[in-house]
Amino acid sequence: MGESTREFKRTDYCGKLSSAQINHDVVVSGWVQKRRDHGGLIFIDLRDRSGLVQVVFNPDLNQEAFDRANKLRAEFVIAVSGKVGPRPAGNINAELPTGEIEIRGQDLKILDSAKTPPFHILDQLDVSEDLRLKYRYLDLRRPKMKDIISLRHQALKATRDYLDEMGFWEVETPLLTRSTPEGARDYLVPSRINPGNFYALPQSPQIFKQLLMVAGVEKYFQIARCFRDEDLRANRQPEFTQIDLEMSFITEEDIFSIGEGLMRRLFSLKGIELPEKIPLMTYQEALDRYGSDKPDTRFGMELIDLSTVVQNSSFQVFSSTIAAGGQVKGINVKGGANCPRRKLDAYTDYVKIYQARGLAWIAWQEEQLKSPITKFLSTEEIEAIKGLMGAEKGDLLLLVADQPAIVADALGNLRLKIAGDEKLIPEGRYEILWVVDFPLLEYDQEEDRFAAKHHPFTAPLSGDLPLLETAPDQVRSRAYDLVLNGEELGGGSIRINNRELQERVFRALNIADEEAEEKFGFLLEAFEYGTPPHGGIAFGFDRLIMILSGADSIRDVIAFPKTQRATSPMTNAPSPVSEKQLNELKILTDD
């Protein structure tokens, strides 16, 4: 039978049809999800980005269309004309938005055939991620992935609408810039026109947005593409997207107000209400209580400092650690006293990942304490530990003795592991807070020098300025992070806005005056032409979408992501280039 020659101009989307269109003539287009042959009738589930609709072909209505429908297979692209009708009473599908209606197909055009796909276009898939990424254009056809792409669009639109209402201007900044020491490795781009010289792809638009404040833009934003050549994790990609903001003549409270308003607008897309005023917690308090500068406050099990009650203990592991400047802290696993020994051993191995030397434990079982360390502790010390930790019968106390940074890292991560393993984190709960007063600098053991905790353009707290040369590790910054459920949504700071202070911070970072002039001279000079006080914040857009969509990995919310080895199975990037291209760029390789 010949192909239909009539024109098919789509009138409706599959998933948007409803009982209101019954007896209407429609034309729909899309992909065949499934074909079923039922006793002389052919049923097609037709899918486009809006959803599914059932189409039924009857040879009594059009024999040629029926014959063409018989040739259809999964993922064929077709156009169908027909009349919307009610489904028979016994065939209504209450789980499908279009489950009360069907299209009685009058004509059909096959727009393109399709090979059998390597996996079914279904949300419930049991295939490797590498296979999904190799055929990403098929993976994105799945309803779940389509919904994520739609959510990204909605969130981008909401962001632009909100920031426009707040008086921001969207300004693009260069993707080809110069390499500067800002933290992670730069992706370098060789210049053919200037042999031996390289551009760098931006890790963030930090310097440019500060220059826009010097330029008098006052309120800038950008949906910015950023690039960092660093080791990848589940929530990290070599190229990612930020919602980037900068404002002049402001304080931290102004940044918080704008950021909170934007978050409320975005979370409302999923019906999630955030508090009208988001609480603040200092960096030090976050470390003291949760062992992390991005604390998950949805559950308890906070870190309790026991140093004062065991500093003179005969248990040398505790007392000698405290004498050496360390501390002893613990967490209380409520109801965990009967934890099996194999699990306690696994917890011990786990804290060693974070450099802790070991894990002590006390289990309060019925009328007695079970522990390998209580024989070394006095009755007064044991009672003090129980009191400070709020221990009750049935509880398990886990203790770490080490240097403060190691204790925080080990217990903070153990706390999260136990909460995840034991399902202690309440579902559907959102706990959000600002973390403030970060250290300006942190010591880099490998480099044997101080490094910027955030970046080298962050302003110190004015009260700590006298310490910049004498005790740089004690200087706090005007930096802030927004944290939700233990995930950092965004971070920023009030910036340095004068040359003298910027040069002092560069020196604290062991950046010599000559290097500062060579790499940042244009910024330092700009600061001499009248620079307003300014600050900003950048929100990780991909991470936001991951949280809003409930995805497990950041790769699920990016249309064409890279693997954890920073490769694309679909395009085989990165890939070798021709000898001619290398010669033009004056590049030699080891091959």
Instruction: Please tell me whether residues 103 and 129 are part of one structural domain.
Output: no
**Contact (Cβ atoms closer than 8 angstroms) between residue 208 and residue 242:** no
Q: Which of 66, 92, 112 marks a domain boundary?
A: 112
Residues 338-370: pLDDT tens digits?
A: 999 999 999 999 999 999 999 999 999 987 899
CA-CA distance, 234 to 42, in Å (whole number)? 44
The closest of 510, 482, 479 to 492, measured between CA atoms, is 479
Instruction: Please tell me whether residues 270 and 134 are part of one structural domain.
Output: yes
CB atoms within 10 A of CB 198: 15
**Contact (Cβ atoms closer than 8 angstroms) between residue 299 and residue 429:** no
Does residue 200 carry a pLDDT above 80?
A: yes
Instruction: Please tell me whether residues 414 and 333 are part of one structural domain.
Output: yes
SS3 for 259?
A: helix
Is residue 504 included in any domain, yes or no?
Answer: no
The band of 39, judged by pLDDT with boundaries at 50, 70 and 90, is confident
pLDDT of residue 89: 86
Instruction: Please tell me whether residues 249 and 306 are part of one structural domain.
Output: no
Residues 268-307: pLDDT tens digits?
A: 999 999 999 999 999 999 999 999 999 999 999 999 999 9
Instruction: Please tell me whether residues 418 and 310 are part of one structural domain.
Output: yes
**Contact (Cβ atoms closer than 8 angstroms) between residue 131 and residue 528:** no
Lowest mean pLDDT among 4-8, 321-325, 443-447: 4-8
- Which range among 33-47, 220-234, 576-590 has the greatest average pLDDT? 33-47
Instruction: Please tell me whether residues 129 and 274 are part of one structural domain.
Output: yes
The band of 3, judged by pLDDT with boundaries at 50, 70 and 90, is low
The band of 182, judged by pLDDT with boundaries at 50, 70 and 90, is low
Q: Which contiguous run of DSSP H or E holds residue 388?
A: helix 379-388
Instruction: Please tell me whether residues 128 and 179 are part of one structural domain.
Output: yes
Does residue 181 carry a pLDDT above 90?
A: no
State the burial class of residue 463 (Cβ atoms within 10 Å of its Cβ: 0-12, 13-18, 19+). Answer: exposed
CA-CA distance, 396 to 336, in Å (whole number)? 5
**Contact (Cβ atoms closer than 8 angstroms) between residue 468 and residue 462:** no
**Contact (Cβ atoms closer than 8 angstroms) between residue 82 and residue 109:** no
Report the number of distinct structural domains present in the chain: 3
Does residue 591 carry a pLDDT above 80?
A: no
CA-CA distance, 190 to 585, in Å (whole number)? 7
Instruction: Please tell me whether residues 132 and 264 are part of one structural domain.
Output: yes
Task: Pull the structure tokens for residue 139.
Answer: 């993976």
pLDDT of residue 5: 55
Instruction: Please tell me whether residues 312 and 385 are part of one structural domain.
Output: yes
Rg (CA), the chain: 30
62: domain CATH number is: 2.40.50.140
Is residue 59 included in any domain, yes or no?
Answer: yes
User: Alpha-carbon torsion 462, 463, 464, 465, what sign?
Assistant: positive
Q: Report angle CA 413, 566, 195 to the nearest 5 degrees.
A: 125
Is residue 201 included in any domain, yes or no?
Answer: yes
DSSP category for residue 464: G
- Bridge partners, residue 224, by sequence: 242
Q: Report angle CA 140, 151, 234 to the nearest 5 degrees.
A: 65
b/e code 368-390 from CB counts within 10 Å (16+ = b): ebebebbeebeeebbebbbebbe
Residues 419-446: pLDDT tens digits?
A: 999 999 998 899 999 999 999 998 887 7
Residues 108-160: pLDDT tens digits?
A: 999 999 999 999 999 998 899 999 999 999 999 999 999 999 999 999 999 99
The predicted model gives 544-560 an average pLDDT of: 94
CA-CA distance, 222 to 219, in Å (whole number)? 11
Find the distance separating the first CA and the last CA of the chain, reported in whole Å: 58
Task: Pull the structure tokens for residue 539.
Answer: 């929100």
The band of 1, judged by pLDDT with boundaries at 50, 70 and 90, is very low
Residue-number span of the structural domain to which 67 is assigned: 14-112
DSSP category for residue 152: H
Is residue 502 included in any domain, yes or no?
Answer: no
CA-CA distance, 87 to 451, in Å (whole number)? 67
